[in-house]
Amino acid sequence: MKWPALFFIISATLWLLAGTALGLISSYKMHDPNFLGNWEWLTFGRTRSAHLNAVMYGWCNNAIFAVGLWIMARLCRTEIRHLGLLIVAGVFWNIAVTIGIGGIFIGDMTSVEWLEMPTYITPLLAIAYALIGVWGIIAFRYRQSEHIYISQWYILGALFWFPWIYSVAQIMILFEPARGTVQSLTNWWFAHNVLGLWLTPMALAAAYYFIPKVIGRPIHSYYLSILGFWTLALFYNWAGVHHIVGGPVPAWVISSGIVASVMMVIPVIVTAINHHMTAIGHFRQVIESPTLRFVVFGAMSYTLVSFIGSTMSLRSVSEISHFTHLTVGHAHHGVYAFFTMIMFGSIYFILPRLLYREWPSKFLITCHFWFAALGITIMIVTLHVGGWIQGLEMNNPEIPFIEVMKGTVPWLKARTISGFFLAIAHIAFAINVFWIVFFRQGQEDVVGTPTLFSSKQAR
């Protein structure tokens, strides 16, 4: 698993940098629309879509392929064979995403949210995914361990769910479009499930693996983890429809989406209790271990973002929050503060074990954590507050629309500042990754224990 994992981690890091740059450009354009305004390929609609697809299919998926498959192989106590094939599939995945984002820039965008990449790369993506995802299943099939851990279920479920939602969405929206707003329902069933049935289970699998692993004690409750898994599988599925509250679709389907969104409180509380009870009394270790710092930050964000999400789905709240920057803030809350932070933590654990050497710079890890944590907090707060004000003003017909728009500018500027924070964090992360991978320091190959800030191994 060493070479494929390295390949995916490096690809993910490169996509993260590209996605950050595109995000910053888009964010800046939101309050200064003339910025880079003369180039058609850099118009706002395209840069923001390129940003979304670069972070989603570039960063998130590559990180998942590395972390998910690595955890799977570890827990199954098995080797992943035919590594060459896996790397070839990975190369094709990355080529497909690159072409797809190029397609967005040259004007082949589909304008279907979360599926902007043109249809001509769909087959390539699908085949590459199949060749990557199947390794997780093969590893599971030939597992050497008797016991099956909760992380394995999350990973297995996600590996199976993602291709299903992806192919249904591709077919019913792009290849053989359904009639009218059935497309929109399919679209949000897909887009929300990318978060709910792909990113979330993978991040939870990592949290369930690393929190007990680094602390060195078993997970608090086996039964709670089962309850969490099945309620998530049952309710998250239905929640996506809350993105079209008030829209031209049957009221019953929206109501069921709202019910499911509220029911999501159950898996969230269950998971939160389980993680909290595992980590309780070991606060020192959470602070000391870079992995746990990131993972626990992510796990706590999961609880918060899910509660906010359940609230936002209610009709009375959605009336205000829908169509505003609050939704954008919420998306970053989920994908960044929860998912991405956990992936960072996982990579801090995995890379030293692949390379048999420690992280070269403790300072860069600290930098990464604080800039990322501060940056994302600023972004979430400004977009939530700014978005809420925008929503209230938009619902007051006394205020002209242009004034509502002008009112968002200070919040959007603050968001750009938070983007700079994140960019610094990511550069620190990238330097550290390339440093550990490509430059061998004269260090002893001493890895058996997790990286700790206080340990002498790390400088």
Does 221 participate in binding another protein (rule CB under 8 A)?
no
Does 183 participate in binding another protein (rule CB under 8 A)?
yes
Does 237 participate in binding another protein (rule CB under 8 A)?
yes
Total residues contacting another protein by CB under 8 A comes to: 83
Separation of alpha carbons 12 and 429, rounded Å? 12
The one among 10, 21, 43, 317 contacting another protein by CB under 8 A: 43
Nearer to another protein among residue 43 and residue 311 (C-beta): 43
Separation of alpha carbons 306 and 268, rounded Å? 7
Separation of alpha carbons 205 and 231, rounded Å? 15
The one among 82, 406, 440, 459 contacting another protein by CB under 8 A: 406
CB count, 10 Å around CB of 444?
10
Nearer to another protein among residue 182 and residue 280 (C-beta): 182
Does 148 participate in binding another protein (rule CB under 8 A)?
yes
The one among 123, 277, 356, 395 contacting another protein by CB under 8 A: 395
Q: Could you tell me the smallest distance in angstroms from the CB atom of residue 222 to another protein? A: 8
Burial class (CB in 10 A: 0-12, 13-18, 19+), 109: buried
| CA 451, chain centre distance (Å) | 24
User: 357 — alpha (psi -120 to 50), left (phi > 0) or beta?
Assistant: beta
The one among 84, 123, 216, 250 contacting another protein by CB under 8 A: 250
Does 168 participate in binding another protein (rule CB under 8 A)?
yes
The one among 25, 96, 165, 372 contacting another protein by CB under 8 A: 165
Site string for another protein, 63-102 (x = CB under 8 A): ----------------------------------------
Does 427 participate in binding another protein (rule CB under 8 A)?
no
Residue 112 phi, psi dihedral angles, 5° rounding = -115, 120
Q: Could you tell me the smallest distance in angstroms from the CB atom of residue 14 to another protein? A: 24
The one among 3, 142, 230, 356 contacting another protein by CB under 8 A: 230
Tokens of residue 431, six digits: 């330097």
Does 156 participate in binding another protein (rule CB under 8 A)?
yes
Separation of alpha carbons 109 and 116, rounded Å? 5
Q: Residues with Cβ < 8 Å from 197, sequence gap 6 or more?
A: 157, 158, 161, 162, 165, 233, 236, 237
The one among 311, 327, 443, 455 contacting another protein by CB under 8 A: 327
The one among 144, 147, 284, 439 contacting another protein by CB under 8 A: 147
Does 33 participate in binding another protein (rule CB under 8 A)?
yes
Tokens of residue 153, six digits: 């279920």
The one among 2, 3, 45, 79 contacting another protein by CB under 8 A: 45
The one among 307, 323, 420, 434 contacting another protein by CB under 8 A: 323
232, 195 contact by CB (below 8 A): no
Query: Residue 118, SS3?
Result: coil
Does 410 participate in binding another protein (rule CB under 8 A)?
no
Nearer to another protein among residue 110 and residue 457 (C-beta): 110
Q: How far is CA 431 from CA 75, 222, 228, 417, in A?
A: 30, 39, 37, 22
Residues 256 to 295 in contact with another protein, rule: CB under 8 A = 256-257
CB count, 10 Å around CB of 252?
8
The one among 61, 78, 170, 186 contacting another protein by CB under 8 A: 186
Residues 95 to 124 in contact with another protein, rule: CB under 8 A = 107-113
Helix (H) or strand (E) holding 362: helix 362-394
Helix (H) or strand (E) holding 202: helix 200-215
Q: Could you tell me the smallest distance in angstroms from the CB atom of residue 402 to another protein? A: 6
Nearer to another protein among residue 274 and residue 408 (C-beta): 408
Residue 33 C-beta-side C-alpha neighbours within 13 Å: 4
